[in-house]
């Protein structure tokens, strides 16, 4: 059996997925990108290979994608994260039905990707100019509130009544706005909920640029935040599908593309 690795070197995290020749996901690993993308990607790949009790020689083909993909020189192929994301989403959401739109929120950018009925990318919109509507924004908020980013979702559901309005779109201004809200005795839960709705509103604007359709798939690290999922669903007015491991969709897609590229080159 041959195996195929997809390496997604994101601005915040490195995600690696390994699939077999039938495109089944065998395992994945996530680590921080840090400053040495190449070194950390290699260490993460080696660790995953050994966890799966494979050898490096079992990996027939490596596809790199994401922000730092060009730094991973050992890759057999480099592809855009939009293509890899679309391929991964389609495979991960087979039980959900047809995916028409992908919302991806990463560490430093957010995207809305529109797909045709064959899963091909027909349009996309991206925000990569500032931290608003990205994981970074959530990281800054969590730090200011002295919370771990993976607990924000719980706080979201502790709030009652209308969500607070958090109007700052810049992470730096949001920090001072949060200090002001705390000073006015607003609870941490109300602030977290307000932040989620402020991000959700920006994301819905992004989705509107490619067209709102039924069949929305949400991935990237912030999709692990159930509170943010709830805010986006309420703002967009429909249920959205979040896969079990939303952070690895793009690396999974890259690994799947690796199978096709390898077969094309070797047949
Ligand atoms: P990138 O591909 O740009 O590196 P990711 O899709 O890996 O970005 O997302 C990183 C972001 O995901 C972090 O900045 C953080 O806000 C968020 N995140 C990571 N893990 C969790 C978690 N367990 N719960 C909630 N949010 C998370």
Digit-coded pLDDT (tens) for 69-125: 999 999 999 999 999 999 999 999 987 888 999 999 999 999 999 999 988 999 999
What's the pLDDT at 44?
97
Q: Could you tell me the pLDDT band of residue 176, with boundaries at 50, 70 and 90?
A: confident
What percent of the chain is modeled with pLDDT above 90?
A: 81
Q: How close is the Cα of 149 to the center of ligand 1, in Å?
A: 8
- Rounded to the nearest whole angstrom, what is the distance from the C-alpha of residue 265 to the centroid of ligand 1? 35
pLDDT at residue 164, as a whole number:
86
pLDDT for 173 equals 81
The average confidence (pLDDT) of the chain is 94
Q: What pLDDT score was predicted for residue 162?
A: 82
Average pLDDT for 222-231: 98
Q: Is pLDDT above 80 for 34?
A: yes
Question: 107 CA to middle of ligand 1, Å?
Answer: 6
Measured from CB, residues less than 6 Å from any atom of ligand 1 are 10-13, 106-108, 135-136, 138-139, 149-150, 220-222, 224-225, 247
Check pLDDT > 90 for residue 131: no
Above 80 in pLDDT, residue 171? no
pLDDT at 62 over 80: yes
Evaluate if residue 38 carries a pLDDT over 80. yes
Is the model's pLDDT at 166 over the cut of 80? yes
- Calculate how far, in angstroms, residue 234's C-alpha sits from the geometric centre of ligand 1: 21
The closest residue, in CA terms, to atom 15 on ligand 1 is 135
Range 148-175 average pLDDT: 87
User: Ligand 1: distance of its center to the CA of 57 in Å?
Assistant: 31
Residue of 88, 135, 137 to mutate, ligand 1, most atoms within 8 A of C-beta: 135
Domains of the chain: 1-93+247-267 (3.30.420.40), 97-242 (3.30.420.40)
| pTM of the full structure | 0.95
The answer to whether 114 and 84 are in contact (CB under 8 A) is no
């Amino acid at each position: 059996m041959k195996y195929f690795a997809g390496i997604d070197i994101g601005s915040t995290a490195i995600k690696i997925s390994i699939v077999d020749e039938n495109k089944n996901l065998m395992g994945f690993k996530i680590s921080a990108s840090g400053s040495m993308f190449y070194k950390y990607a290699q260490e993460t790949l080696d660790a995953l290979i050994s966890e799966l009790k494979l050898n490096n020689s079992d990996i027939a083909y490596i596809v790199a994608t994401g922000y730092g993909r060009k730094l991973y020189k050992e890759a057999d192929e480099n592809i855009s994260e939009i293509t890899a994301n679309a391929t991964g989403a389609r495979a991960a959401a087979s039980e959900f039905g047809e995916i028409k739109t992908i919302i991806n929120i990463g560490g430093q950018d957010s995207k809305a990707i529109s797909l045709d009925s064959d899963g091909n990318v027909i349009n996309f919109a991206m925000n990569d100019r500032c931290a608003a509507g990205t994981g970074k924004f959530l990281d800054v908020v969590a730090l200011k509130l002295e919370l771990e980013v993976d607990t924000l979702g719980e706080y979201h559901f502790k709030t009652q009544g209308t969500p607070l309005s958090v109007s700052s779109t810049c992470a730096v201004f949001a920090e001072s706005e949060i200090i002001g809200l705390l000073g006015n005795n607003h609870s941490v839960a109300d602030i977290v909920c307000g932040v989620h709705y402020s991000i959700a509103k920006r994301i819905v604007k992004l989705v509107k640029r490619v067209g709102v359709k039924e069949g929305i798939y949400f991935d990237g690290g912030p999709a692990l935040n159930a509170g943010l999922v709830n805010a986006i669903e309420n703002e967009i007015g429909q249920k959205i599908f979040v896969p079990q491991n939303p952070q690895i969709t793009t690396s999974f897609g890259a690994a799947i593309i690796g199978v096709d590229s390898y077969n094309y080159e070797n047949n």
